[in-house]
Amino acid sequence: MPPKRAATIAVICAVMPAPAPAQEHRHGPYAGLEQRQIKSLSEQDIAELRRGGGWGLALPAELNGLPGPAHLLELRDALDLSTEQVQRITALHDDMRKSAIVAGERFIAAEAALSAAFTGDAPDDEQLRALIDEAATARAELRFIHLSRHLITPDILSPDQISRYNQLRGYTDAPCAEVPQGHDPDMWRRQNGCD
């Protein structure tokens, strides 16, 4: 670039105002959640509870080798479950789901009441304690329903089926041996360092 042209560009750049800094948009981790009807539950949470889903409440059993009825039914062919086993697990699952729907509705109502208590005048300590206790009791019942069914399934299965279940669900020391049903194979392998 000729020196005269470079000098002209330098002068222009020097006298031009600096661009305004981009306006920062800071959002807290809860931004957007204020739009929820029940502040502590997402629409996905509510849908899961209303369908009687596990909502992760049975992880202490699931991740310690005690299979859940819903996943057993999903894996029935891979586990080579007998007709009798499928019937027993289906009955267990249906009973669990029916009970979980009732308990889930109670939990949703308790969380809705707790959320609503903060829309006007704040509750006093006694009111707040009662609301929290109701929500905690409902959640505990829901968790009991799910965890207790995991205690029953080992009596329906053989040790080999339990071992195979844990392998299919990816709970073995060799997570790369087989991608659990319902997981994206590429993502599973990448997250478990298989490739």
Rounded to an integer, what distance in angstroms lies between the CA atom of residue 110 and that of residue 132? Answer: 8
In a domain, 28, yes or no: no
Residue type, 137: T
Handedness of CA 47, 52, 58, 64 (dihedral sign): negative
In a domain, 32, yes or no: no
Number of domains in the chain: 1
Handedness of CA 194, 72, 51, 56 (dihedral sign): negative
In a domain, 33, yes or no: no
In a domain, 149, yes or no: yes
**CATH code for the domain in which residue 49 is found:** 1.20.120
For 170, residues 6+ apart whose C-beta sits below 8 A from its C-beta are 178, 179, 180, 183, 188, 192
In a domain, 188, yes or no: no
Q: Are 155 and 72 in contact (CB under 8 A)?
A: no
In a domain, 140, yes or no: yes
In a domain, 62, yes or no: yes
Which domain does 81 fall in, by range? 39-172
Per-residue model confidence (pLDDT) at position 30: 79
Q: What is the pLDDT along the chain (195 residues), one digit of tens a residue?
A: 555 555 455 445 444 555 555 555 567 887 877 777 887 899 999 999 999 999 999 999 999 999 999 999 999 999 999 999 999 999 999 999 999 999 999 999 999 999 999 988 889 999 999 999 999 999 999 999 999 999 999 999 999 999 999 999 988 766 666 666 677 777 667 766 676
Per-residue model confidence (pLDDT) at position 11: 46
Per-residue model confidence (pLDDT) at position 18: 52
In this prediction the pTM is 0.72
Rounded to an integer, what distance in angstroms lies between the CA atom of residue 157 and that of residue 23? Answer: 61
Per-residue model confidence (pLDDT) at position 39: 77
For 187, residues 6+ apart whose C-beta sits below 8 A from its C-beta are none
In a domain, 87, yes or no: yes
